[in-house]
């Protein structure tokens, strides 16, 4: 029986709260505006940041699994890694292969056409072995090209159109800074999947890849300063990095700051941690709007209590209990807050969907953002509605009826 009476009481309180909200549409909308903006900001910011983070993380994960990058700053006596140093790196346990990388910008010509500042990359055979789908036509560079310093190259479609328009470039000859090279392959359009290579850029004049040994001969240098090391078993990456650092320290006589070893997996962990911190900061900043909205709800409910003093007095005179009065005002505050949260949810998802398309990243609904936004809005309604509801429940019916 008591459960039935409690259900009737709750239903009646919800009905009266909703009728009062509908009766004051403009005031109710302005009251919930802070909640709407706060929830929309939380959902939009967190959803966009998480979607962008997931996209970047996926790219780094694809590129970084099982790969370590060695960058050499050198010393006064030794500027880079020699062939004997590279062989020592190859011999480290758990190393599947190494791919030295030399990046240049040089003029390239063919068939009377001339292009300045073309991106020229010197790569090892392991680079093509570890990265599938780099070549659309022709062949990749192999160990024989690397060992023999062969003057062969692969060009991208942009350079192919400029130097060999309407002609098959395979087997054709081009000149890099006056040195003759034979085209043996055409790079796929999406072959530049290396994030670091994208950051370094290649200009608008196209790109070509030659054996790193040929690049050393082309520039008359005898050492390299950038090497990608591929790991066999990623469970032992940390130990392999320690072994690599031992070899490098010996190569540079243990001089400080002569080289750096970047473990892409560790970099990925650091980036994820930074993104988590950023997401928390954004949520905290956006939550300030919800607090402002909560203050607006409390202010409106206090005004409502003052305006409805006579109503409260009549209800108490007719036998309404203080807890019934308190429940009605608390429900009214809760409904206003949750209603604003739902509207903010819809607007937040719409904004994040628009910006995801604008930024060309996959749109992903964040359950964390939705739970945080709606949960915070519901909590704000209860917390900031408690004081006005308590004030209404403690009104003296005699004092309240004097205004009649």
- Whether the pLDDT of residue 3 is over 60: the answer is no
φ/ψ region of 244 (left if φ > 0, alpha if ψ in -120 to 50, else beta) reads alpha
Q: What is the pLDDT of residues 328-376, one digit of tens each?
A: 778 888 888 888 889 989 999 999 888 888 888 888 888 888 887 888 7
Helices assigned H by DSSP within 91-156: 125-130, 143-148
Tokens of 199: 């950051």
Average pLDDT of the residues in 209-215: 93
With residue 174 as reference, give the H or E element that holds it. strand 173-176
Q: Which residues of 197-209 are buried (b: 16+ CB within 10 A; e: fewer)?
A: beeeebeebbbbb
Q: Is 249 exposed, middle or buried (0-12, 13-18, 19+ CB in 10 A)?
A: middle
pTM of the complete model: 0.56
User: Which pLDDT score, from 0 to 100, does residue 170 have?
Assistant: 93
The per-residue pLDDT for range 135-164, each reduced to its tens digit, is 999 999 998 999 999 999 999 988 998 898
Confidence of residue 267 (pLDDT cuts 50, 70, 90): low
pLDDT surpasses 50 at 2: no
Q: What is the per-residue pLDDT for 74?
A: 85
Q: What is the pLDDT of residue 121?
A: 93
Q: How far apart are CA 239 and CA 93, in angstroms?
A: 9
**180-203 pLDDT, tens digit each:** 999 999 998 764 444 444 444 445
Number of other CB atoms surrounding residue 136 within 10 Å: 15
Of these ranges, 59-63, 65-69, 346-350, the one predicted with the greatest mean pLDDT is 346-350
**Which of 107, 108, 110, 135 is CA-nearest to residue 123?**
135
Instruction: Find out whether 374 and 338 touch, Cβ atoms under 8 Å.
Output: yes
Residues 64-77: what's their mean pLDDT?
A: 81
pLDDT confidence of residue 176: 92
Largest CA distance in the chain: 106
The pLDDT score that the predictor gives to residue 53 is 76
At residue 192, the pLDDT reads 47
What is the number of alpha carbons within 13 Å of residue 124 lying toward its C-beta?
Answer: 19
Residue 256 neighbours by CB distance under 10 Å: 9
The closest alpha carbon to 404, from 312, 303, 323, 305, belongs to 312
36 neighbors 44 (Cβ within 8 angstroms): no
Strands 67-72, 259-263: pairing is antiparallel
Locate 359 and state its tokens. Answer: 């930024």
Q: Which of 99-103, 132-136, 323-327, 348-352 has the lowest mean pLDDT?
A: 323-327
Q: Per-residue pLDDT tens for 366-388? A: 888 888 788 878 888 788 777 77
Cβ-based neighbours of 304, under 8 Å, separated by 6 or more: 20, 329, 332, 388
Helices (H) and strands (E) in the chain, counts: 14, 11
Which tokens hold the place of 113?
């056409």
Burial status of residue 9 (CB atoms within 10 A of its CB: 0-12, 13-18, 19 or more): middle
Q: Over the stretch 271-287, which tens digit does the pLDDT of each residue have?
A: 777 777 877 777 777 67
């Amino acid at each position: 029986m008591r459960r039935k009476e409690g259900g009737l009481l709750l239903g009646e309180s919800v009905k009266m709260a909703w009728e009062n909200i509908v009766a004051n549409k403009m005031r109710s909308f302005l009251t919930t505006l802070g909640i709407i903006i706060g929830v929309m900001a939380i959902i939009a910011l967190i959803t966009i940041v998480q979607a962008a983070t997931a996209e970047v993380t996926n790219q780094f994960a694809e590129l970084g699994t099982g790969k370590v990058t060695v960058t050499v700053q050198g010393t006064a006596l030794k500027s880079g890694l020699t062939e004997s140093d590279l062989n020592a790196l190859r011999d480290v346990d758990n190393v599947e292969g190494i791919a030295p990388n030399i990046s240049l910008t040089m003029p390239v010509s063919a068939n009377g056409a001339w292009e300045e500042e073309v991106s020229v990359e010197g790569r090892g055979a392991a680079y093509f072995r570890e990265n599938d789908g780099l070549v659309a036509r022709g062949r990749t560079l192999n160990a024989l090209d690397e060992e023999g310093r062969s003057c062969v190259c692969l060009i991208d479609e942009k350079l192919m159109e400029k130097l060999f328009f309407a002609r098959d470039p395979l087997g054709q000859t081009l000149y890099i800074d006056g040195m003759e090279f034979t085209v043996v392959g055409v790079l796929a359009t999406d072959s530049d999947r290396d994030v670091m290579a994208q950051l370094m850029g290649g200009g608008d004049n196209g790109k070509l890849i030659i054996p790193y040994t040929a690049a050393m001969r082309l520039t008359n240098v005898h050492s390299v300063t950038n090497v990608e090391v591929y790991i066999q078993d990623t469970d032992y990456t940390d130990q392999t990095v320690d072994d690599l650092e031992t070899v490098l320290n010996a190569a540079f006589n243990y001089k400080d700051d002569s080289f750096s070893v970047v473990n892409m997996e560790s970099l990925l962990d650091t980036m994820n941690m930074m993104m988590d911190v950023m997401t928390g900061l954004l949520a905290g900043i956006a939550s300030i709007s919800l607090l402002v909205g909560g203050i607006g709800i409390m202010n409106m409910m206090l005004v409502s209590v003052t305006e409805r003093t006579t109503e409260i007095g009549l209800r108490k005179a007719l036998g309404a209990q203080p807890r019934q009065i308190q429940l009605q005002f608390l429900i009214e505050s809760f409904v206003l807050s949750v209603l604003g949260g739902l509207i903010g949810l819809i607007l937040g998802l719409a904004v994040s969907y628009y910006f995801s398309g604008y930024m060309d990243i996959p749109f992903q609904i964040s359950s964390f953002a939705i739970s945080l936004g709606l949960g915070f809005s519901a909590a704000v309604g209860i917390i900031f509605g408690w004081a006005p509801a308590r004030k209404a429940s403690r009104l003296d019916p005699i004092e309240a009826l004097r205004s009649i």
